[in-house]
Structure 1
Amino acid sequence: MSNILILGAGRVGASVAEQLVHEQYRVTVVDENAASLKLLQDKLDLRTVQGNAGSPEVLSAAGAADADLLLAVTPTDELNMVACKVAQTLFNVPTRLARIRNPDLLARPELFADHAFAIDHVITPAQIVTEYLCRLVETPEALQVLDFAGGLAQLVVVRVEEDADMAGKPLRALRELLPKADCRVVGIYRRNRTIRPDGDTQVEAGDEVFVLTAQRDRRAVLALFHEAGRKLRRILIAGGGNVGFRLARALQGQYQVKLIENNPARAAWLAEHLADTLVLLGDGTDEGLLETEQIERTDLYLALTSDDEDNIMSGLLAKQMGARKVIAIINRSRYVGLLQGSRIDVALSPAQVTIGSLLAHVRRGDIEAVHNLRRGTAEAMEIVAHGSRGTSRVVGRKVAELRLPDGIHFAALVRGEEVIIVHHDTEIADGDHVIVFVDNKRRIREVEHLFAVKLGFF
């Protein structure tokens, strides 16, 4: 069992710690804030150490000498960098990840090399969330859009509309309606209940359907479950922090983008750095401002401030006043399930969006991508298969031979540039990128075991 050392008990650190403890990893969390550590210790079976994350003495007390992986996610970039260097130099921790947010530092990748601060992988949550939001903007009918194999394959989550072509039909009708499309429904959630799909499963309005599809077929597949609305043109963002700024910068020029920021100095800075975005000084909860900016003509409203209550209230207000679609960042992950699908169309937790990039380094095996689904209850993984029939449990075998347990589905594989939807007679080859859907996190260990290469391979 891996020993994981987490530096920082903030939102990201606490979320990762909770997930890893539930998956039965040995976790130690270091933070200077005793109250934050007590909150974690009261609800999770983990060890905590109070102190400075960059201190050799503190890291030693936290068990750095026995750690398999160090995750530095304190609020301070420089502290995260120093902690990684100390962990490498004094304790030889094999894998070191650090959250870095300062763009000046990110622009100097040589700082992260072994001879410098010895950071194996840099995590930038604001950029991860921004890319996630960009995919939702590109596909407004979807609740989630997740990339695999560099975007060749995508997992899209969509809520079925009453008048959709697939509503009331069995899943086998997909093949009749789109005979040339590469797609597979890998999961259905109905009234918070998991349904394992097969050809006879009937789709109902209101279902959350998880579809794995080749990127080129995404639009056609989604149109069967949810009518494609008019293309987005007008976008209003509330909150000019790291995510709001990055998103406006990514979208300006393609859409009519407005950004609301309530801090005068920050608003002036944003106006200077966003040439094609209209920056407004104000508050997203100001009904008068929303009315002045014609919220009823807005195609997409995004509440991206650091305050959950403001995001919830401004999102609800925008929807009530006529915004076509509303997306809100909610830092308290427990609120996400309450709000998703209400007047707020998409509620997302930044920590849950970010956690997949961290889990890819925690999982055993050659993992290319990990995505959290259903607020952490399910997971989609992209795993590279290695070996031969003699050294691997999957390579050289047809899927039917594997006798996969309930809750584990091989949805597709990517071989070179080709996306292959998996069927019972699909044979897995060495080097295939296999996309696995796991609807119960307790099955993750079984997936890792399945792809583990036997010693003879070496």
Structure 2
Amino acid sequence: MNIIIAGAGRVGFNLARTLSIGHNVTIIDRNAEALHRLQESLDILPVHGDIEDPQTYRKLIDRSADLFIAVTDTDEANLISTLIVDDTIDVERKVIRLRNAFFAKSSIREKLSIDKTVFPLDLTSETVVMLLEYPKANNVKSFRHTAFKLISVWATSLKEAVRLETDRFDIVGIERGKRFFVPDRETLVEPHDLIYLFGDEEKIRALCRQFDTETPRSIDRCIVFGAGDLGIAIARRLIENGKDVKLIEKDMKLCETADELLEGEAMTLSCKYGTSELFEEEGLEYADMMIAATDNDEYNIIKCLEAQEHGIHKVVAVNNEREYYNLMHSLGIVVVRGPKMSAYNAILESMYSSGVIMERKFCGGKATIFLRNVFRHSHLIDQKVKPPKMKEGIKLYVIRHNELIDFTEPLLIEEGDVIVGFTAEEDAPKLKVWFYGL
């Protein structure tokens, strides 16, 4: 595909790095230094210029694009760029990143013929809110074609290795130390493994309570560090869910803004002079969950460690750098994709997914899920399908009538089936070929 990316920031860079393998990528930015760094490490075409200036696109006047992606930090710039590109270049699809939740409820997408709008603040906030329903879980993913969920949990309460008896769910991945792998039937779960369970959520929920006896069974009192846009968005969602929220920020102006936007429904505290005293003076150590939601990944890690020292068992760090993923898991910190990583993943998932096949990443990008829905007029109905030849490194199932069926032998496919596969990232291309070749 011919792809044009507007914005060479962290999201644009990560997209260019991924998409430049197998696609022709052009990236536009007015930061010449950022473009130079990209050109040094990636096979891309850099275009120096303002994405809001029509003259910038005249350099591409004879080109066509299969996809235009606008991912700067500014909503206005992203919106204007989609207008300009329509008048100067033949573009088939447009994807845009937006911060302001107002646009989610407006008709802006239809008016500007935008195919996909991504709201990273909402995505990150929603991930945090999911933890309210599953206090023992490390992460929860839902899917469009099935009620089954993918839920990860640390085996912190295990004293010795055990073999799980599965019923309407299965272990589809294990993170042990820095390594992720898809286990076979003989694999034992070891103490402190991070295990990924797929299937009936009630069955998995009961298992989570066995594996983690330290985290509170319900979350009612929450602390949010960081009163920027993300911290406010998370606090608002927690308040909407009836939780007691304390918002902590060292910048007094941000404290005042947050207090005004949240209409006083959260207690806003300044930590200008440090946070150790706040834990004792404000009773923060009695919180059920702490979320570090600043735009500084290192600071988020430090705040989570402070919270752990004061006795808070459920600590969540917003993360925009893959490099910190293993570190945070080794420290017992729940990792939530930050707005930049959420935007990056959402855009890739929208590109690689269709109405029939869905592709999702998990375990910090170390693993991939594929789902294929067998619709009413699918050519697969009443066909006997063989599983892929690759036997190791994958788990394959058919979901039928809310049951999870192992797909290890040829199977007659029925209408309404959902075929789902799990694999480590290095094996994902092979499994992807099989799914798309069905």
TM, length-normalised to structure 2: 0.88
Per-residue Cα deviation, 1:274-304 (whole angstroms, up to 9, x for no partner): 2432122334952222322223212211111
Matches within 5 A, 1:235-314: 235-252=222-239, 254-274=242-262, 275-283=264-272, 285-314=274-303
Question: Which residue of 127, 139, 143 corresponds with 1:144?
Answer: 139
Asked if structure 1 preserves the Cα contact closer than 8 Å seen for 2:158 and 2:192, the reply is no
Asked if structure 2 preserves the Cα contact closer than 8 Å seen for 1:367 and 1:381, the reply is no
Unaligned regions of 5+ residues in structure 2, if any?
A: none
Q: Please report the RMSD computed on the Cα atoms of aligned residues, expressed in angstroms.
A: 3.0
Structure 1 equivalent of residue 341 of structure 2: 352
Partner AA of 1:169 in structure 2: V
Structure 2 equivalent of residue 456 of structure 1: none
Distance of 1:452 and 1:240 partners within structure 2: 48
Structure 1 equivalent of residue 161 of structure 2: 168
Pairwise CA distance, 1:83: 1.8
Question: Which residue of 427, 437, 446 corresponds with 2:422?
Answer: 437
Per-residue Cα deviation, 1:356-408 (whole angstroms, up to 9, x for no partner): 3212321164356543223223222333346878x55xx54456444356444
Pairwise CA distance, 1:147: 0.8
Distance of 1:137 and 1:77 partners within structure 2: 30
Pairwise CA distance, 1:224: 4.5
Distance of 2:421 and 2:302 partners within structure 1: 37
Secondary structure at the aligned position of 2:158 is classed as coil
Does 2:105 align with 1:125? no
Matches within 5 A, 1:361-400: 361-363=350-352, 365-366=354-355, 369-385=358-374, 391=379, 396-398=382-384, 400=386
Question: Which residue of 434, 446, 450 corresponds with 2:435?
Answer: 450
CA change 1:401–1:436 in 2 (3 A) is closer
Matches within 5 A, 1:8-407: 8-22=7-21, 24-61=22-59, 65-108=63-106, 110-113=107-110, 116-149=111-144, 152-163=147-158, 168-170=161-163, 173-175=164-166, 181-227=167-213, 229-230=215-216, 231-252=218-239, 254-274=242-262, 275-283=264-272, 285-342=274-331, 344-346=333-335, 348-363=337-352, 365-366=354-355, 369-385=358-374, 391=379, 396-398=382-384, 400-404=386-390, 406-407=392-393
Distance of 1:251 and 1:199 partners within structure 2: 39
TM, length-normalised to structure 1: 0.84
Distance of 2:97 and 2:261 partners within structure 1: 24
Partner AA of 2:224 in structure 1: I
Per-residue Cα deviation, 1:42-62 (whole angstroms, up to 9, x for no partner): 333333222122344433535
Pairwise CA distance, 1:183: 0.7
Q: Which has the higher mean CA deviation after the structures are superposed, 437-446 or 126-135?
A: 437-446
Asked if structure 2 preserves the Cα contact closer than 8 Å seen for 1:81 and 1:119, the reply is no
Pairwise CA distance, 1:444: 3.1
Pairwise CA distance, 1:127: 0.3
Pairwise CA distance, 1:273: 3.3
Asked if structure 2 preserves the Cα contact closer than 8 Å seen for 1:370 and 1:379, the reply is yes
Distance of 2:244 and 2:345 partners within structure 1: 31
CA change 1:356–1:332 in 2 (3 A) is closer
Distance of 1:340 and 1:64 partners within structure 2: 48
Distance of 2:206 and 2:214 partners within structure 1: 9
CA change 1:93–1:383 in 2 (3 A) is farther
Partner AA of 2:408 in structure 1: H
What fraction of aligned residue pairs are identical, expressed as a percent?
26
Pairwise CA distance, 1:448: 4.7
Query: Stretches of 4+ moved more than 6 A in 1?
Result: none
Secondary structure at the aligned position of 1:169 is classed as coil
Asked if structure 1 preserves the Cα contact closer than 8 Å seen for 2:182 and 2:423, the reply is no
Asked if structure 1 preserves the Cα contact closer than 8 Å seen for 2:356 and 2:374, the reply is no
Asked if structure 2 preserves the Cα contact closer than 8 Å seen for 1:258 and 1:279, the reply is yes
Distance of 2:62 and 2:397 partners within structure 1: 38
Partner AA of 2:181 in structure 1: I
Pairwise CA distance, 1:350: 3.8
Structure 2 equivalent of residue 178 of structure 1: none
Pairwise CA distance, 1:98: 0.6
Distance of 2:418 and 2:174 partners within structure 1: 23
Secondary structure at the aligned position of 2:50 is classed as coil
Pairwise CA distance, 1:343: 5.2
Distance of 2:113 and 2:266 partners within structure 1: 38
Partner AA of 1:160 in structure 2: A
Partner AA of 2:104 in structure 1: L
Distance of 1:262 and 1:315 partners within structure 2: 16
Unaligned regions of 5+ residues in structure 1, if any?
A: 176-180, 454-458
